[in-house]
Amino acid sequence: MADAFLNPYTFIPAFPRKNLPEELHDKAPLARNYLRPKAWTGRIAVTLTVETPLLLLDTSRYRTLEGRPEHQIYPVRLRDGRPHLPATSVKGMLRAGYEAITNSRFGVFEAHNEQPGRKTTSVTEMTPVYVEQGGRVVRMRMAALPLYDGEGDALYPPERIPRHGERIKAVISRERVIDFTRDLDAELPAKRGDQAVIGIAYVTGPNIAGKTAERFFYFEEPRQELPTARPWATLVDGWRQTITACEEAHDRKNPHERRPADRRTAKPRKRAENGLGRLAWGAHLYGDEWQALKPGAVCFALLTDNRVERLCPALVPRRLHPVTPRDLLPRDLWPASTYGRLSAADRLFGWVAPAAKKRVPPAAYRGRLRIGPVTCDDDARTAVRRFGDSLPLAILSTPKPQQGRFYLAESAAQPDEPISPGTAKNDLYKHGRGLRGRKAYWHHAGLDAKQYWNPEVPGGLDPSQVMVGGRYREYLRPRVPVDVGGPLTADKRRYATKAEQQRDSQNRSIEGWVKPGTTFRFTIEVRDVDDHELGALAWLLTWPDGCFHRLGFGRPLGFGSVRLEIDAAGVELHSGADYQAYYRALDGDLPDTDGVEILRNARKAFEALLESSAELKVVRDAMLEVARGRHDLPVHYPRTRPEEFPPGLPAPPNPHGDNFRWFNENEKPTKRTGDERRRSLPKVLNDDSLLKVYPYRSKSVKGGDKGRGRQDRSR
């Protein structure tokens, strides 16, 4: 089990909604002008207790360190000297749970209509082309244009190096430029067999290790126009989606933020540092001349039957999958587009029409639930732990839907069934697949809480590299590695790091957190809700012992596990019939009711709905399993370990944060690796398959990234 782990996030299955109990079907909300006799109105008092440190950050008041403007440090959000938990945060947490347990429509599902891309290494299918006026595409030839020495330094003075898209004159010998000039009228000597032509420079910068050459495009005579298999507008849209897919595959940081060791901002076309992840960005991610597909562009075409299927800004682009995530989500789970088709969560918590539908009245619904002000029992002196200058946190990964093995199910009808291990990457995104459901974060169970959440380790050791209770402190970012190669300590049990903290654009620091054991109090006001609606809410507020909701920032790192409990003394609920009698008599008092008993009966009514649906029972069990966590497994992002690590010793967090290596290792075929790869994210329930930390040969990265990408250095 030393190599097994839980990914920080998993998915609560979201089934097609056609088999839901009738009470949970779509319909228009009821009128507000009267209270129904058998519906409930009133308030529920709730106590929220912090189980793991809670990050309540005042993101508008961040500060930076001198010389590191890209790194942000957040203070704790306080109001009147107490930690401030916005009511909207609590409402968002409850709505997410309510959506899941009632299998409602997604409240938000935007920006998922782009085709995800996958990395491809095939260059034989790509043809260099020139785009003329009117969308005509002309075939070109290509030669290597030597400009660098292999270490990222130019072979020529700046005034001689051509810009991307600039016309130059060159002498070509065996598909390689042996001489060139930016002066188109100059004479260049050429030997017999060499070819002197005018063409266009294709310059992307030092974006791969060991690169020595750019490319030179030139026309063949007579010129050959290539027919297009798709309309021009479709080719333009595909170009944009190709760039978007490449951006999605990288951390969403400005390319200009890459910094070398001296902390000066690296220029887009300059190498930040000679090491893994320190190369210049691909020019199509930042260059204005690359963003738009327009006449005069030199690029590459993917041909099908000698017809242009797609135009790409790079020789090795990300190939687009044939479907989008939105295509794989059943339409009855899409956000409601009209007032008459609101799901259970929309009717209780409120609804706003998607942007394209806001002109169709009514465009919003207020809902019948309100969260009152949230108050903290303790002031900041007692409730907040502070960290001197600040505490740098681990890097939080951005969502990467292109990793279909983690996001996709075998079919939309069975979102709880992951894609079979061993499935080829090309077969992930296709028609007939489905999405896994709603993202949820595992509770980090089995921690030695007192020591685990103490970031101070005696002896000057890197606390992220020291185990406590069988776990590493996953919330801490490792300190600066000794060098790019990532050497190990003498005992081979951890990565060798310096005393300096890693603070850059990839992570954030905090000045403090809300301590475990801190309590907050709030009320939930409901108006004219049915038994099953009140019951679903009561179910969320009365989870079994050891189950926790997740709230606030940093949930993948273990922060924000909270316990909700009903405060019996603060529950006051009355039926519409009670209010009718009250207003008829005008005696000044509503009848006494047992609010806790009303909640208990409402919960039983909702649990009967759950038991009537096999799909809802799966959802319920999955939610409780994630809320409970697993005591036998650590929770962290996928990572690899050097083969030199002692067998049976869990691998600590890598100071370089190169999580991409795990996904590369995971794609290696079984015959090559000798064990089962191409693993999918396991389902929450009854799944014996586990994600495992893969070993890799660390010697291959010592001394930087030399030797990588040598098959094609003129990219």
Q: φ and ψ at 570, to 5 degrees?
A: -110, 20
- Tens digit of each residue's pLDDT (9 = 90 or more) over 112-121: 656 555 555 4
pLDDT band at 271 (very low <50, low <70, confident <90, very high): very low
Return the pLDDT at 1.
Answer: 59
Euclidean distance between CA atoms 516 and 680, whole angstroms? 34
What token pair was written down for 519?
Answer: 């309590």
Q: Of the segments 229-238, 239-248, 356-365, 444-453, which one has the largest average pLDDT value?
A: 444-453
Of the two residues 346 and 259, the one the predictor is more confident about is: 346
Per-residue pLDDT at 343 exceeds 50: yes
- Tens digit of each residue's pLDDT (9 = 90 or more) over 497-555: 999 999 998 899 999 999 999 999 999 999 999 999 999 999 999 999 999 999 999 99
Per-residue pLDDT at 294 exceeds 90: no
| Chain center to CA of 140 | 39
The residues, any chain, with a CB within 8 Å of residue 120's CB and separated by 6 or more, are: 316, 317, 318, 319
The residues, any chain, with a CB within 8 Å of residue 513's CB and separated by 6 or more, are: 53, 54, 55, 56, 76, 384, 385, 559
Mean pLDDT of 463-481: 94
Residue among 647, 620, 607 nearest 2 (CA):
647
DSSP state of 681: P
Return the pLDDT at 240.
Answer: 82
Q: With contact defined as beta carbons under 8 Å apart, do 12 and 416 qualify?
A: no
The SS3 of residue 495 is strand
- Tens digit of each residue's pLDDT (9 = 90 or more) over 505-515: 889 999 999 99
Euclidean distance between CA atoms 48 and 335, whole angstroms? 30
Q: φ and ψ at 263, to 5 degrees?
A: 70, 5
DSSP state of 452: H
- Tens digit of each residue's pLDDT (9 = 90 or more) over 603-620: 999 999 999 999 999 999
Mean pLDDT of 581-592: 85
What token pair was written down for 312?
Answer: 């790409």
Q: Of the segments 205-209, 216-220, 660-664, which one has the largest average pLDDT value?
A: 216-220
Pairing state between β 384-392 and 369-371? unpaired
Q: Of the segments 101-115, 308-322, 577-591, which one has the largest average pLDDT value?
A: 577-591
DSSP state of 460: G
Mean pLDDT of 587-601: 91
Lowest pLDDT segment from 162-176, 243-257, 545-559, 641-655: 243-257
Euclidean distance between CA atoms 711 and 715, whole angstroms? 10
Of the two residues 335 and 399, the one the predictor is more confident about is: 335
Per-residue pLDDT at 274 exceeds 70: no
* pLDDT over 90 percentage in the chain: 57
Domain boundaries, the chain: 4-114+371-628, 122-320
Of the two residues 447 and 676, the one the predictor is more confident about is: 447
Of the two residues 210 and 503, the one the predictor is more confident about is: 503
Of the two residues 389 and 699, the one the predictor is more confident about is: 389
DSSP for 62-122 reads: -EEETTEEEEEEEPBPEETTEE---HHHHHHHHHHHHHHHTT---S---S--SPPEEE---
Return the pLDDT at 3.
Answer: 87
Return the pLDDT at 673.
Answer: 56
Please give the span between the terminal C-alpha atoms of the chain, in angstroms, as a whole number: 42
Return the pLDDT at 7.
Answer: 95
Helix (H) or strand (E) holding 694: strand 694-696
Of the two residues 520 and 263, the one the predictor is more confident about is: 520
Q: With contact defined as beta carbons under 8 Å apart, do 53 and 516 qualify?
A: yes
- Tens digit of each residue's pLDDT (9 = 90 or more) over 1-56: 578 999 999 999 999 999 999 999 999 998 888 899 999 999 999 999 999 999 99
pLDDT band at 707 (very low <50, low <70, confident <90, very high): very low
Sheet with 408-411: list strands edge to edge. Answer: 414-418, 408-411, 434-435
Return the pLDDT at 112.
Answer: 61
| Chain center to CA of 82 | 32
DSSP for 500-544 reads: S---STT--EEEEEEPTT-EEEEEEEEEEE-HHHHHHHHHHHSPP
Exposure of 279 by Cβ count < 10 A (0-12 exposed, 13-18 middle, 19+ buried)? buried
What token pair was written down for 101?
Answer: 């347990």
Euclidean distance between CA atoms 75 and 390, whole angstroms? 9
DSSP for 603-633 reads: HHHHHHHHHT-HHHHHHHHHHHHHHH--TTS
Mean pLDDT of 630-635: 94
Euclidean distance between CA atoms 444 and 474, whole angstroms? 10
Return the pLDDT at 430.
Answer: 85
Return the pLDDT at 253.
Answer: 45
Return the pLDDT at 710.
Answer: 32
Euclidean distance between CA atoms 445 and 629, whole angstroms? 5
Per-residue pLDDT at 111 exceeds 80: no
CB-based burial, 488-501: b 16+ in 10 Å, e otherwise: eeeeeebbbbeeeb
Measured over the CA atoms of residue 629, residue 630, residue 635 and residue 639, the dihedral's sign is negative
Lowest pLDDT segment from 320-324, 469-473, 475-479, 589-593: 320-324
Return the pLDDT at 163.
Answer: 86
The SS3 of residue 143 is strand
Mean pLDDT of 553-561: 97
Of the two residues 571 and 310, the one the predictor is more confident about is: 571
Side chain identity at residue 657, one-letter code: G
Q: Between the CA of residue 1 and those of 141, 406, 420, 619, what are the distances in Å?
A: 54, 21, 22, 27
Nearest 5 degrees, angle CA 493-CA 499-CA 504? 105
Return the pLDDT at 667.
Answer: 86
Return the pLDDT at 486.
Answer: 62
pLDDT band at 245 (very low <50, low <70, confident <90, very high): low
Mean pLDDT of 196-224: 86
The residues, any chain, with a CB within 8 Å of residue 436's CB and separated by 6 or more, are: 10, 11, 13, 406, 407, 408, 409, 415, 416, 418, 681
Return the pLDDT at 285.
Answer: 57
Exposure of 111 by Cβ count < 10 A (0-12 exposed, 13-18 middle, 19+ buried)? exposed
Euclidean distance between CA atoms 687 and 416, whole angstroms? 11
Return the pLDDT at 715.
Answer: 38
Ranges of beta strands (E only) in 276-367 are 298-304, 307-312, 318-320, 351-352, 364-365
Return the pLDDT at 129.
Answer: 94
* Mean pLDDT taken over the chain: 86
Q: With contact defined as beta carbons under 8 Å apart, do 144 and 215 qualify?
A: yes
